[in-house]
Amino acid sequence: MLALADGSVWEGVGFGAPARIGGEVVFNTGMTGYPESITDPSYHGQILCQTYPLIGNYGIDPESFESDRPRIAGYIVSEFCETPSHIRSRKTLAAWLRENGVPGIAGIDTRALTRRLRARGVMPGLLDATEDPIDGQTLVRRARRLPDPNARDLSSEVSTPEIRITNPGARRAVVLIDCGTKMNIVRCLAGGGFAVVRVPVATDFSRILDFSPRGIVISNGPGDPMTAAPVIRTVKRLMGAGLPIFGVCFGNQILALAAGASTFKLKFGHRSQNQPCLEEGTRRCHITSQNHGYAVDTRTLPRSWRPWFTNANDGTNEGIRHIRKPFSSVQFHPEACPGPTDTGHLLTEFLESLG
């Protein structure tokens, strides 16, 4: 059973781990890329519903992971495939989730669930995939008592515990502040010929300068950016030092907060691979991959900052940049995985600007 805080109860078939887990229930409308989404640290603390009706048909391939393991709290699908067919598949979705302690539920109307979340907003839920589930109304009462995971500093829970360097022999270095980074950001930066110094989210200003970086990248991550006070303070000091900065997703919000702007929670967020973003000052529209539940309030941007991209669906901010200094960020994922690579050039252009 899946019970939501609004009182609705959804019955289905359990798969994955036989467990009972609570979290914020969100949905993703992507047609492919379920291993990348499941391993994306931005989903930490959330129960993910996939709107695409069949999940698991190409199995699980560790080469497509965006972190070392599943990061979702629980999984909701209409139908999961028990017999995947793909040359790179190493195991089934159900077996992989079971190995990692993640419960799933299948056989429910994910379209109806998604419509409810769109109308009422994302909300706490309790997923019971145990062999002896408790009754639905008891689940509802417990779901309503669940603490809000976004009240915690979730980025510190998924950040690297230690400094890690990729491509250490490179002549130039870029520091990646790991708020819950997807591994394709690391791959893209290293592919640009840089040593990528991945540091914990709470790393202080002076320690970052020890690596003499050409630039700073602030990664994606989960939860409310306002809870990540240490990294906001660090980014403020990095801006004061004039170091080039580029933010991705959560990094867009952190950069805005460091600049003095505000953020707010979206009703149901953007989690998909088909979000259209308009580039300000042009007639160009990019199709982007996204996974976020908070956004920058452009009305609060200081006078020296401008919106860079805007979501064509709901008009929310999708990027900011300073009018003179080398500070910019995007709310979407230019590194993709899953999704379109249309905006991958933004990371390339940032690296090229570092000389």
CATH 3.50.30.20 domain span(s) along the chain: 2-151
Quote the CA–CA distance of 60 and 253 in Å, as a whole number. Answer: 32
Measured between alpha carbons, how far is 36 from 340 in angstroms, rounded to an integer?
A: 13
Q: What is the pLDDT of residues 273-317, one digit of tens each?
A: 999 999 999 999 999 999 999 999 999 999 999 999 999 999 999
Cis peptide before 338 (omega within 30 of 0): yes
Residue 335's Cβ-count burial label (10 Å; 0-12, 13-18, 19+) is buried
- Closest listed residue to residue 113, CA positions, set 76, 79, 141: 76
DSSP states of 66-79: SSSS---SEEE-SE
Q: Could you tell me the pTM of the whole model?
A: 0.97
Q: Which residues are catalytic?
A: 249, 333, 335
Ranges in the chain annotated CATH 3.40.50.880: 154-353
CATH code for the domain defined by 2-151: 3.50.30.20
Query: What mean pLDDT comes out for the span 235-256?
Result: 98
CATH of domain 154-353: 3.40.50.880
pLDDT in tens, 24-55: 999 999 999 999 999 999 999 999 999 999 99
Mean pLDDT score, 98-110:
98
